[in-house]
Chain A
Amino acid sequence: QVHLVQSGAEVKKPGASVKVSCKASGYSFNNYGMHWVRQAPGQRPEWMGWINADNGYVKYSEKLYARVSLTRDISATTGYMELSSLRSEDTAVYYCARGSNTGWLRYWLDPWGQGTLVTVSS
């Protein structure tokens, strides 16, 4: 069965960075891509970016491209999302989700990880 298991909740101060991991199992990791989506309290989900798990090619949202970095470790079947220069508005639940490795478009997100709450507070 396909599973994505994310790392635990984080509390960070403004200006710091956070790195969230997403461990994949039940499928051939490098045959798919991985999306990252965040959802702030009471807000709609926001797409952050996508990584091709095979070759590491990334596509970031225009809003976050200067602060977000997506990487992956094929041997560990794990994807990572790092967000820098954190501010209070980055407080949200962060999700990873499996996608296609042919591109960030034209393929749905399934399944999703359980989510990681990142709280940014002084």
Chain B
Amino acid sequence: EIVLTQSPGTLSLSPGERATLSCRASQSISGTYLAWYQQTPGQAPRLLIYGASSRASGIPDRFSGSGSGTDFTLTISRLEPGDFAVYFCQQYGTSPITFGQGTRLEI
């Protein structure tokens, strides 16, 4: 199965700063079938990005995704208080579907 490794494990930043989160796959992800989700405590995961770079409905353009093959990046420009959460990546191109271990974005 494809193992997704996210880095860093924890990222400490301040509101207004830029966050760069990495997701590396153990083998190439076919078709850029890579998504990013945001999870806040006690809440359901929320889809941010699909197809590696397409923003989901209602997601502000401060969130952007990039990458292909084995290396993917989620960038959040101009952090807002509500952005401090856990972010995890997911590949859905090869069975079984797998997830990264998450990056915690904290103030």
Residues of A within 8 A of B (CB): 35, 37, 43-47, 59, 61-62, 95, 97, 104-115
Contacts and interface: CB of A to CB of B under 8 A. Distances in A.
17 contacts: A37-B99, A44-B100, A45-B88, A46-B99, A47-B99, A62-B96, A95-B44, A105-B33, A105-B97, A106-B92, A108-B35, A108-B56, A109-B35, A109-B90, A110-B47, A110-B56, A112-B46
Interface string B29-52: 001010101000001111100110
A109 B33 CA distance: 11
* Closest 3 A/B residue pairs (Cβ): A110-B47, A108-B50, A112-B44
Contact of A104 (B31, B44, B47, B95): B95
B47 A115 contact: no
B10 interface: no
Contacts, number: 62
Contact of A44 (B47, B51, B93, B99): B99
| Chief secondary structure at chain A's binding surface | loop
Contacts of A105: 33, 92-95, 97
Interface string B60-93: 0000000000000000000000000000101011
B57 to A, nearest CB: 9
Interface of B: 31, 33, 35, 37, 43-47, 50-51, 56, 88, 90, 92-102
A112 B45 contact: yes
A105 B2 CA distance: 13
Nearest to B44: A112
Contacts of A110: 47, 50, 56
A108 B47 contact: yes
Nearest to B50: A108
Given A44-B88, A109-B35, A110-B56, A104 B97 contact: yes
A46 B97 CA distance: 8
